[in-house]
Amino acid sequence: MSLTSVVVPTTPIEGQKPGTSGLRKKVKVFMEPNYTENFIQCLLDAQGEKLQGSTLVLGGDGRYYTTKCIRLTIKIAAANGVSKLIIGQRGLLSTPAVSSLIRTYKVLGGIVLTASHNPGGIRNDFGIKYNIENGGPAPDHLSHRIYDLTTTIKQYKIVHDLDCEFQEIGTHSFQVDGKEFTVEVIDPTDNYVELMKSIFDFPKLKTLIRGTDGQPPFNVLIDSMNGVTGVYVKRIFLDELNSGQDSAVRYIPLDNFGEIHPDPNLTYAKDLVDSVKNNESFDFGAAFDGDGDRNMIIGKRAFFVTPSDSLAVLANNLECIPYFKKNGVHGFARSMPTAAAVDRVAQKLNKEMFEVPTGWKYFGNLMDAGRLSLCGEESFGTGSDHIREKDGIWAVLAWLSVIEYKRKGVEDILKEHWQLYGRNYFTRYDYEECESDAASDMMQHLEGLIKTGEIVGKSFSDSGKQYKIKKMDNFSYTDPIDNSEAMNQGVRILFEDGSRLIFRLSGTGSSGATIRVYIDSYEKENVTADAQAMLKPLVNIGLQISKLKEFTGREEPTVIT
Nearest to 293 by CA among 322, 271, 262: 262
| Element holding 381 (H helix, E strand) | strand 381-384
Per CB under 5 A, does 61 bind Zn ion? no
Burial of 212 per CB tally in 10 Å (0-12, 13-18, 19+)? exposed
* Position among 181, 304, 360, 421 found at the interface with ligand G6P (CB under 6 A): 360
Q: Is 116 designated active site?
A: yes
* Position among 21, 131, 310, 384 found at the interface with ligand G6P (CB under 6 A): 21
The option from Zn ion, ligand G6P, none interacting with 291 (CB < 5 to 8 A, set by class) reads: Zn ion
* Position among 37, 289, 389, 430 found at the interface with Zn ion (CB under 5 A): 289
The footprint of ligand G6P on residues 329-348 (CB under 6 A) is: 335
The mark string for 379-398 relative to ligand G6P (x by CB under 6 A, - otherwise) is x-x-----------------
* Position among 16, 20, 66, 316 found at the interface with ligand G6P (CB under 6 A): 20
* Position among 38, 116, 401, 424 found at the interface with Zn ion (CB under 5 A): 116
The footprint of ligand G6P on residues 253-312 (CB under 6 A) is: none
Per CB under 5 A, does 291 bind Zn ion? yes
Nearest to 447 by CA among 507, 487, 500: 487
Per CB under 6 A, does 512 bind ligand G6P? no
The footprint of ligand G6P on residues 515-554 (CB under 6 A) is: 516
The option from Zn ion, ligand G6P, none interacting with 263 (CB < 5 to 8 A, set by class) reads: none
Rounded to a whole number of angstroms, the minimum distance from the CB of residue 361 to ligand G6P is 7
Per CB under 5 A, does 377 bind Zn ion? no
Rounded to a whole number of angstroms, the minimum distance from the CB of residue 213 to Zn ion is 40
φ, ψ for residue 520, nearest 5 deg: -135, 125
Measured CA to CA, the distance from residue 468 to residue 475 in angstroms comes to 19
Angle at 409 between CA 407 and CA 415, to 5 degrees: 110
φ, ψ for residue 535, nearest 5 deg: -95, -5
Task: Name the packing angle between helices 307-316 and 341-349 (round to 10°).
Answer: 10
Neighbours of 19 (CB within 10 A): 18
Angle at 382 between CA 381 and CA 388, to 5 degrees: 95
193-201, 282-290, 340-348, 495-503 -> range binding Zn ion (CB under 5 A):
282-290
Task: Name the packing angle between helices 392-406 and 307-316 (round to 10°).
Answer: 50
Tell me the Cα Rg of the chain: 23
Per CB under 6 A, does 507 bind ligand G6P? yes
Angle at 277 between CA 276 and CA 278, to 5 degrees: 95
The option from Zn ion, ligand G6P, none interacting with 307 (CB < 5 to 8 A, set by class) reads: none
The option from Zn ion, ligand G6P, none interacting with 506 (CB < 5 to 8 A, set by class) reads: ligand G6P
245-253, 288-296, 355-363, 545-553 -> range binding Zn ion (CB under 5 A):
288-296
Measured CA to CA, the distance from residue 429 to residue 518 in angstroms comes to 6
Per CB under 5 A, does 293 bind Zn ion? yes
73-81, 261-269, 292-300, 361-369 -> range binding Zn ion (CB under 5 A):
292-300
Rounded to a whole number of angstroms, the minimum distance from the CB of residue 293 to Zn ion is 4
Identify the bridge partners of residue 505 per DSSP, sorted by sequence position.
Answer: 515
354-362, 367-375, 417-425, 484-492 -> range binding ligand G6P (CB under 6 A):
354-362
Identify the bridge partners of residue 184 per DSSP, sorted by sequence position.
Answer: 86, 171
Q: Which of 5, 21, 99, 116 is catalytic?
A: 116
The option from ligand G6P, Zn ion, none interacting with 359 (CB < 5 to 8 A, set by class) reads: ligand G6P
Buried b (16+ CB within 10 A) or exposed e, 422-442: ebbbbbbbbbbebeeebbbeb
Measured CA to CA, the distance from residue 250 to residue 389 in angstroms comes to 23
Rounded to a whole number of angstroms, the minimum distance from the CB of residue 391 to Zn ion is 10
What's at 123, amino acid-wise? R
Identify the bridge partners of residue 130 per DSSP, sorted by sequence position.
Answer: 111
Residues near ligand G6P (CB under 6 A) are 20-21, 116, 335, 358-360, 377, 379, 381, 506-508, 516
Active site residues: 116
Residues near Zn ion (CB under 5 A) are 116, 289, 291, 293-294
